[in-house]
C-alpha cells in the first residue's frame, strides 16, 4: 500500500509523528488514582496526600439525566428489485458514505477453510471482470473515493466514501465489483497474502493472541467460534471456494446497503437501481450444520508461554447470550458495571489491591447467535495470576449478589450517555442503524436505547447475574512468561495446559504438528506415491539423489524478524547421512552464527564484532530439530516416502501463488518427522513444503529452477514462520564436492 499522509500508513512512523488519529500521544497516561486502563506505561508511586482534597469545594460528579430517545435524522428505507435493502440517512454533509453489509461472515465458513470470508472480501475490491485493480484504484482515487472491505463474525462489509458530487463513483464501483467480480487466482493470492499478513500481526500482538486463544479455549475446535484462521487454512482456499462463496452468499437479497449523505431520495434510488441493478439474486448457499454450544467443563486454564515477557494478559471467558435474547441488555449492563468504565468493579478492585500497573475490563459479544462474555486484564507477569483471581472473585461476587441500585443507575446512565456520544458524526449513527437492520431491528433499537437500558432495575440485574454469570465454569488464557505464571498457578493448586507462544492456536493443529495424523486409503496412497515419484524423477531421479554424498551452497539472504530486517550471507554444507553445518554472516560480518549437527551431537557458535565468540552444545531437542532439518532438506525430501516404514497421506489440494498443487503429507517410520509437500499439478515439481518444528509451523516456497549436476535446484527460496521470514537466493551450488570433516568438529572455545 502506498499512502501519503494516510493515517493507516506505516504505523511506526505515524506513531512517531503523532500525526494521525489513534497514533502517538493520543493516549494520555493515567495517574495513580485514575481508574482508566493504564496500558503498559510505568507509573510512579500513588500520589501522596490523596486525602488533601477532603473538605475542599470540589467539582461534583455529574448527576445522571433522565433517559430520552435520540433525535433521529430523516431515514428512508426501500428495496431494489434485486432484493437489496437500502437505508438512506439524510445528513447535511458534503460527503456521501456507502456501507454494504452482507450476511456472510466467519460463522458461515468451514473449519478447513477458515479465513474464506476475509479473503473474499479483500479479493472483491481488487478489481472486477471489467477493470483491473489498477484501473479501479485509479477511478476511485480520481474521485477522491476511499474503498474498504472487511469481514467479521457475521458480515462482510464493503465501504466507500466520496465527495457528494462524485457519489455515483462509489455506487458504480460497488455495483461493478458485485455484479462482475471476475475474481481470478492472482487476486485470490494477493488477498490471501493480505489476510496472512494481518494474521501474523495479530499473533505478534500479545492481547490479540490472547483473544484468539480464548475463543478456541472457550468454544473448542469443533464449534465455529473456536476456529482460528491459519496459514494452513488460508492455503486451502482456492478459486472455486471463493466463487462458491460469492455465488451463494454475496447476494443482494442477503444484504443491506447504508447510504449517508445529502442526496435527494428519488435521485438516490434511481442511481442505485442503475449502479446495482446488475447484481443479481442467486441461489442461497446451503445451511451449515453446526455443533451445539460447549457444555460446562469447569475451570480450564491455558498458559501461552512467552519466555521473558515482563508483562502479560489474562482473558476469562464464558458463554453470553444472543442479541435478541431477553437477557442481552441486562447482561450488557452487568458487564459494563463489572469492567466498562473507570468506576467499574474491576477498576476499583484493581486500583485498591494491585495498583496502577494492572488493569481489567469486561465485554459482551453482540451477535445474533450466542457469543462470549470476556473479561480482559493486563498486568506485570508477576501479578498476572493475582489479577486473574481478583477478576474471578469479582465475577463470582457479581453472580452471587448482583448490583446495588446505585451501581445499576450509574451503569445505566453511563451506557446511555456513551450511546449518544458514539454518534459524533452522521456516519456513526448510520452504522448503528445498519447493524440493527442486519439483526432484524428497526431504528427504534438505536433511538430508544437510553430508555430501554433505564428500565433495568437491581432485581432484574440480580436475577440475570445469577442465571447468566458463572464464577466456576470459565475458560482462561494467560499469556506471559510461562515459567513465572506456572509457578504462581502451581502455588495456587491450579492445573493448566502450557503452550509455546508460536504453537498453533487450535488444539487439533497443535496435535497434528506434534504427532501428524497419517491415514489414507491404499488407493489414495498409491496415487499420492505416483505424484511424489514423478516429482522425484523431475528433481533428478531416485538414483541420482540417492547417491548424493554431500551438498554445499552459498546464498545471499534477507531476514525479517518482528519488523526488523537483516541481510547477510548463508553457507550450508551437508555431508550425508548426518552432518550439517550452517554459517550465517549478518550485518556485513558484524554478527556470525554457526550451527552444526555432527551425528548425535550438535553445537553452535556465535560471535559479534567486538565480543568474544561463544560456543554452546545443543540439548537433545535441538539435535533432534537438526536431524529433522536434514530429513526435510529440499534436495532430499522427495526420497523420504520411499524409505522403509514411511507413510503417505494426501490432503486437500491447495493453490500456492495461483498454482494448483497436490498436498501430500509424508511421515517417517517413527511418526516424529513429517512434512506436507506441495507439488505443482501442471509442472509436476515440488514447489513448497510446510512442517512443524519445535511447535512452530513454517512454510517454504521454491522457485528459480536451475539444473546443477543433474539435479533440479530451486535457487530462490522463502521460509515463513510466525517469528521470521527468510528469503534466500542461492549463488554457488555443488554436489559431492569434498567437505573437510573438521568443519563439523566442535571448537574448543567456550
306 binds other proteins (CB under 8 A): no
The CA radius of gyration of the chain, in Å to the nearest whole number, is 29
Minimum CB distance to other proteins smaller for 389 or for 554: 554
Residues near other proteins (CB under 8 A), total: 110
Among 85, 88, 91, 453, binds other proteins (CB under 8 A): 91
For residues 88 and 265, the answer to whether their CB atoms sit within 8 Å is yes
Least separation in angstroms between CB 188 and other proteins: 18
Q: For residue 179, is it left (φ>0), alpha (ψ between -120 and 50) or beta?
A: alpha
Phi, psi dihedrals of residue 69, rounded to the nearest 5°: -70, 155
Taking contact as CB under 8 A, which single stretch among the options 192-200, 335-343, 540-548, 665-673 is the one that binds other proteins?
335-343
Angle between helices 116-124 and 239-249 (to 10 degrees): 80
State the Cα–Cα distance between residues 590 and 167, nearest whole angstrom. Answer: 57
Nearest Cα to Cα of residue 262 among 143, 144, 96, 98:
96
State the Cα–Cα distance between residues 76 and 258, nearest whole angstrom. Answer: 10
What is the separation, in whole angstroms, between the first and last Cα of the chain? 48
State the Cα–Cα distance between residues 485 and 491, nearest whole angstrom. Answer: 10
Segment 21 to 80, residues that bind other proteins, using CB under 8 A: 21-36, 40-50, 53, 56-59, 61-62, 65, 70-71, 73
Segment 603 to 622, residues that bind other proteins, using CB under 8 A: 609
Least separation in angstroms between CB 466 and other proteins: 27
Least separation in angstroms between CB 451 and other proteins: 15
Segment 388 to 427, residues that bind other proteins, using CB under 8 A: 410, 413-421, 423-427
State the Cα–Cα distance between residues 339 and 350, nearest whole angstrom. Answer: 11
Among 81, 132, 144, 459, binds other proteins (CB under 8 A): 144
Taking contact as CB under 8 A, which single stretch among the options 112-120, 292-300, 558-566, 690-698 is the one that binds other proteins?
558-566
Taking contact as CB under 8 A, which single stretch among the options 116-124, 140-148, 201-209, 329-337 is the one that binds other proteins?
140-148
Site string for other proteins, 700-729 (x = CB under 8 A): ---------------------------x--
Among 4, 298, 523, 644, binds other proteins (CB under 8 A): 4
State the Cα–Cα distance between residues 212 and 575, nearest whole angstrom. Answer: 43
Minimum CB distance to other proteins smaller for 524 or for 593: 593
Burial status of residue 660 (CB atoms within 10 A of its CB: 0-12, 13-18, 19 or more): middle
Least separation in angstroms between CB 45 and other proteins: 6
Among 104, 117, 125, 143, binds other proteins (CB under 8 A): 143
Burial status of residue 620 (CB atoms within 10 A of its CB: 0-12, 13-18, 19 or more): exposed
Is residue 113 classed as helix, strand or coil in its secondary structure? helix
Least separation in angstroms between CB 292 and other proteins: 38
Among 283, 289, 292, 564, binds other proteins (CB under 8 A): 564
Minimum CB distance to other proteins smaller for 150 or for 558: 558
**Helix H or strand E segment including 415:** helix 405-421
Query: What is each CA distance from 22 to 171, 261, 474, in whole angstroms?
Result: 29, 25, 33
- Under DSSP, the state recorded for 347 is H
270 binds other proteins (CB under 8 A): no
Minimum CB distance to other proteins smaller for 420 or for 615: 420
Among 75, 111, 112, 137, binds other proteins (CB under 8 A): 137
Give Cβ neighbours of residue 209 (< 8 Å, ≥ 6 apart).
202, 203, 304, 479, 501, 505
569 binds other proteins (CB under 8 A): no
Cross-strand partners of 647: 667
338 binds other proteins (CB under 8 A): no
Least separation in angstroms between CB 449 and other proteins: 11
511 binds other proteins (CB under 8 A): no
Q: What pairing do the DSSP bridges indicate for beta strands 300-305 and 475-480?
A: parallel
308 binds other proteins (CB under 8 A): no
Minimum CB distance to other proteins smaller for 215 or for 413: 413
Strands (E), 320-422: 359-364, 372-380
Among 168, 198, 202, 341, binds other proteins (CB under 8 A): 341
Minimum CB distance to other proteins smaller for 7 or for 741: 7
Taking contact as CB under 8 A, which single stretch among the options 116-124, 163-171, 478-486, 619-627 is the one that binds other proteins?
163-171
- Under DSSP, the state recorded for 619 is P
Minimum CB distance to other proteins smaller for 71 or for 292: 71
Is residue 566 classed as helix, strand or coil in its secondary structure? strand
- Grid cell, residue 240, equals 472455486
**Helix H or strand E segment including 702:** strand 696-708
Segment 92 to 111, residues that bind other proteins, using CB under 8 A: 92-95
Among 289, 565, 600, 670, binds other proteins (CB under 8 A): 565
User: Cα dihedral sign for 444, 447, 448, 449?
Assistant: positive
Tally the residues of the chain. 750
348 binds other proteins (CB under 8 A): no
561 binds other proteins (CB under 8 A): no
Minimum CB distance to other proteins smaller for 564 or for 670: 564
- Grid cell, residue 375, equals 473479561
Taking contact as CB under 8 A, which single stretch among the options 242-250, 469-477, 562-570, 730-738 is the one that binds other proteins?
562-570
5 binds other proteins (CB under 8 A): yes
168 binds other proteins (CB under 8 A): no
Site string for other proteins, 229-268 (x = CB under 8 A): ---------------------------------x------
296 binds other proteins (CB under 8 A): no
Nearest Cα to Cα of residue 298 among 469, 475, 468, 465:
475
CA dihedral 68, 73, 74, 80 (to 10 degrees): -110
Query: What is each CA distance from 165 to 31, 96, 147, 263, 295, in whole angstroms?
Result: 47, 9, 17, 10, 55
Nearest Cα to Cα of residue 632 among 538, 550, 542, 698:
698
Among 10, 288, 515, 517, binds other proteins (CB under 8 A): 10
Least separation in angstroms between CB 242 and other proteins: 22
Minimum CB distance to other proteins smaller for 4 or for 491: 4
742 binds other proteins (CB under 8 A): no
Is residue 275 classed as helix, strand or coil in its secondary structure? helix
Amino acid at each position: 500500500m502506498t499512502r501519503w499522509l494516510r493515517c493507516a500508513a506505516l504505523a511506526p512512523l505515524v506513531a512517531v509523528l503523532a500525526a494521525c488519529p489513534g497514533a502517538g500521544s493520543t493516549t494520555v497516561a493515567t495517574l495513580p488514582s485514575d481508574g482508566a486502563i493504564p496500558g503498559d506505561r510505568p507509573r510512579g508511586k500513588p500520589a501522596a496526600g490523596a486525602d488533601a482534597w477532603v473538605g475542599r469545594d470540589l467539582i461534583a460528579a455529574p448527576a445522571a439525566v433522565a433517559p430520552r430517545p435520540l433525535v433521529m435524522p430523516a431515514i428512508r428505507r426501500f428495496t431494489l428489485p434485486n432484493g437489496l435493502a437500502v437505508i438512506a440517512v439524510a445528513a447535511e454533509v458534503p460527503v456521501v458514505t456507502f456501507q454494504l453489509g452482507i450476511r456472510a461472515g466467519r460463522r458461515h465458513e468451514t473449519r478447513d477453510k477458515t479465513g474464506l470470508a476475509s479473503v473474499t472480501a479483500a479479493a472483491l475490491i481488487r478489481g472486477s471482470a471489467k477493470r483491473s485493480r489498477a484501473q479501479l484504484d485509479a477511478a476511485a482515487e480520481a474521485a477522491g473515493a476511499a474503498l474498504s472491505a472487511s469481514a467479521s463474525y457475521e458480515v462482510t462489509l464493503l465501504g466507500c466514501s466520496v465527495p457528494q458530487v462524485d457519489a455515483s463513483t462509489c455506487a458504480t464501483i460497488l455495483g461493478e465489483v458485485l455484479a462482475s467480480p471476475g475474481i481470478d487466482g492472482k487476486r485470490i493470492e494477493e488477498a490471501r497474502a493480505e489476510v496472512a499478513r494481518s494474521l501474523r500481526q495479530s499473533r505478534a500482538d500479545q492481547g490479540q493472541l490472547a483473544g484468539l486463544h480464548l475463543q478456541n479455549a472457550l468454544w473448542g475446535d469443533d464449534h465455529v467460534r473456536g476456529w482460528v484462521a491459519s496459514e494452513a487454512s488460508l492455503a486451502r482456499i482456492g478459486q472455486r471456494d471463493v466463487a462458491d462463496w460469492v455465488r451463494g452468499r454475496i447476494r443482494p437479497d442477503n444484504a443491506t446497503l447504508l447510504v449517508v449523505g445529502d442526496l435527494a431520495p428519488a435521485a438516490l434510488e434511481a442511481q442505485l437501481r442503475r449502479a446495482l441493478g446488475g447484481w443479481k439474486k442467486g441461489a442461497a448457499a446451503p445451511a451449515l450444520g453446526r455443533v451445539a454450544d460447549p457444555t460446562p467443563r469447569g475451570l480450564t486454564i491455558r498458559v501461552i508461554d512467552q519466555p521473558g515477557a515482563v508483562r502479560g494478559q489474562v482473558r476469562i471467558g464464558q458463554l453470553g447470550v444472543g442479541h435478541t435474547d431477553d437477557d442481552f441488555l441486562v447482561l450488557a449492563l452487568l458487564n459494563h458495571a463489572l469492567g466498562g468504565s473507570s468506576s467499574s468493579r474491576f477498576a476499583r478492585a484493581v486500583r485498591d489491591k494491585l495498583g496502577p500497573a494492572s488493569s481489567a475490563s469486561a465485554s459482551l459479544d453482540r451477535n445474533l447467535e450466542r457469543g462470549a462474555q470476556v473479561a480482559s486484564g493486563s498486568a506485570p507477569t508477576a501479578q498476572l495470576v493475582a489479577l486473574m483471581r481478583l477478576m474471578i472473585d469479582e465475577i463470582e461476587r457479581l453472580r452471587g449478589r448482583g448490583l446495588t441500585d446505585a451501581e445499576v443507575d450509574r451503569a445505566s446512565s453511563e451506557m446511555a450517555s456513551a450511546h449518544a456520544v458514539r454518534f459524533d458524526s452522521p456516519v456513526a449513527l448510520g452504522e448503528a442503524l445498519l447493524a440493527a437492520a442486519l439483526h432484524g431491528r428497526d431504528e427504534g433499537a438505536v433511538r430508544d436505547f437510553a430508555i430501554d437500558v433505564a428500565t433495568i432495575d437491581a432485581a432484574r440485574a440480580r436475577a440475570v447475574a445469577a442465571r447468566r454469570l458463572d464464577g466456576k465454569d470459565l475458560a482462561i488464557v494467560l499469556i506471559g512468561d510461562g515459567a513465572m505464571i506456572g509457578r504462581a498457578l502451581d502455588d495456587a493448586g491450579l492445573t493448566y495446559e502450557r503452550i509455546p507462544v508460536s504453537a498453533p492456536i487450535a488444539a487439533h493443529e497443535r496435535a497434528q504438528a506434534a504427532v501428524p495424523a497419517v491415514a489414507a486409503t491404499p488407493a489414495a496412497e498409491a496415487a499420492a506415491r505416483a505424484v511424489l515419484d514423478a516429482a522425484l524423477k523431475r528433481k533428478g531421479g531416485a538414483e541420482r539423489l540417492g547417491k548424493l554424498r554431500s551438498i554445499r551452497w552459498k546464498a545471499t539472504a534477507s531476514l525479517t524478524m518482528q519488523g526488523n530486517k537483516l541481510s547477510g550471507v548463508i553457507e550450508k554444507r551437508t555431508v550425508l547421512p548426518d552432518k550439517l553445518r550452517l554459517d550465517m554472516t549478518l550485518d556485513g560480518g558484524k554478527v556470525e552464527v554457526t550451527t552444526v549437527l555432527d551425528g548425535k551431537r550438535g553445537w553452535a557458535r556465535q560471535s559479534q564484532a567486538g565480543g568474544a565468540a561463544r560456543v554452546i552444545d545443543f540439548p537433545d531437542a535441538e539435535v533432534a530439530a537438526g536431524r529433522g532439518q536434514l530429513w526435510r532438506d529440499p534436495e532430499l525430501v522427495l526420497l523420504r516416502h520411499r524409505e522403509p516404514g514411511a507413510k503417505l497421506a494426501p490432503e486437500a489440494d491447495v493453490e500456492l501463488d495461483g498454482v494448483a498443487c497436490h498436498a501430500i503429507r509424508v511421515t517417517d517410520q517413527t511418526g516424529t518427522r513429517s512434512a506436507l509437500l506441495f507439488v505443482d499439478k501442471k509442472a509436476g515439481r515440488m514447489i513448497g513444503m510446510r512442517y512443524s518444528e519445535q511447535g512452530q509451523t513454517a512454510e517454504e516456497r521454491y522457485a528459480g529452477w536451475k539444473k546443477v549436476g543433474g539435479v533440479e535446484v530451486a535457487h530462490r527460496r522463502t521460509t515463513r514462520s510466525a517469528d521470521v521470514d527468510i528469503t534466500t537466493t542461492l549463488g554457488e551450488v555443488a554436489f559431492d564436492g569434498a567437505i573437510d570433516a573438521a568443519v563439523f568438529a566442535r571448537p574448543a572455545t567456550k
